Amino acid sequence: MIALPLAKKIAELFLILFAAAALVKTGILKAENSKILSKLSLYFITPCVIFNSFQKELTDEIGQGLLTAVALATGFELLFFLIAAVLRRVWKATEVERASVVFSNVGNLVIPLVSFVLGPEWVIYTSAYIFVFNLLFWTIGIRMFDRESKPGIRKILLNPNLLATWAGLITLFTRLKLPEPVMLAFSDVAAMIGPLSMMITGMMIGGMTFRNMFSNHRVFGVLFFRMILASGLAVFAAALVVRFLPVDRNIVMIMLLGAIAPTASNINQVAILYNRDAGYASAINVLTTLFCIVTIPLWFMLFESLIG
């Protein structure tokens, strides 16, 4: 069963989260320091993780697996966009709420979980979801917050995570081997992703009060739509794929893990940039992250029972 190893790894990561929150509560660290760490994670560590994941021998199986992963990730995102469109009409969902339903934290949380549960060799398939995420987030996602300016193609293509994907694909398909010290540096930096991401969220939690988290009661609606409704539909869709299509079960599980993750931390940063209720966005991110310690193992238990 994969649910038990997942629960153990999530518990381990959350111990780091609570330790970071305690450091902020005691005044040793400041919550605003998390912004610097967020940039470090987003623009340095995650690209290293993505690039490092491609450093393996290309086989027909890996090539087919990447195409399958991209197709699955795209399918999940289209499902979430559909849910967000319905919520906009029937629940009057705001930009922050819709983005929180659509975009999940596919990098910071999913990568360490995949590496721990399935092994580092499977991390390469997370880059497929990250690729789809970045492509959609920096185009359609940005338009949710900024309807005045057109999305910049240059900004999309030069995103460090996409650049790392392109560079990784080049080394994969050309079989280019970098010097050992360079690869060891990439590997060492990549190993930081799990602990650092939990520290960032923990510092955010440490800077908030429970009163601030719950000041907008609609946060519970977003929590339900993201972690229960959207995730539940993703689980049943993934189970159908495994049962009726000839796909690798592990690849489906990796994509499902990305689909049921908490809301993306990028939403907080964009909300600040476009003045779209950043405090509310942070509360959603924190609560969905805390909630996932229960939902992710439970959803995987259901998924395993559905596929037999």
Half-sphere exposure of 253 (CA within 13 A, CB side): 24
What SS3 state is found at 263?
A: strand
| The residue to which tokens 């779209």 are assigned | 276
How many whole angstroms separate alpha carbon 220 and alpha carbon 201? 19
Nearest by Cα to 187 from 121, 282, 271, 91:
121
Alpha-carbon distances of 143 from 71, 138, 172, 279, rounded to whole Å: 23, 8, 33, 20
Query: The dihedral of CA 186, 187, 188, 193: what is its sign?
Result: positive
177 has which bridge partners?
Answer: none
The type of residue at 288 is T
Phi-psi sector, 77: left (phi>0), alpha (psi -120 to 50), beta:
alpha
pLDDT score, position 282: 83
Looking at domain 3-307, which of 3.90.950.10, 3.40.190.100, 1.20.1530.20, 1.10.357.10 is its CATH number? 1.20.1530.20
pLDDT score, position 85: 97
How many whole angstroms separate alpha carbon 71 and alpha carbon 168? 19
The type of residue at 183 is M
Spell out the domain ranges in the chain.
3-307
Alpha-carbon distances of 162 from 139, 150, 183, 237, 255, rounded to whole Å: 13, 20, 19, 27, 18
Per-residue pLDDT reduced to its tens digit, 171-212: 998 989 899 999 999 999 988 888 888 898 888 888 888 777
Query: The dihedral of CA 73, 119, 109, 243: what is its sign?
Result: positive
| Residue ranges, the chain, pLDDT below 50 | none
pLDDT score, position 268: 79
How many whole angstroms separate alpha carbon 205 and alpha carbon 201? 6
Nearest by Cα to 62 from 178, 175, 183:
175
**Angle between helices 160-174 and 46-53 in degrees, nearest 10:** 20
Tokens of 8: 């153990």
Burial of 119 (0-12, 13-18, 19+ CB in 10 A): exposed
How many whole angstroms separate alpha carbon 158 and alpha carbon 85? 29
pLDDT score, position 152: 63
Are 18 and 201 spatial neighbours (Cβ–Cβ below 8 Å)?
A: no
- Give me the torsion for CA of 131, 200, 290, 120, rounded to 10°: 50
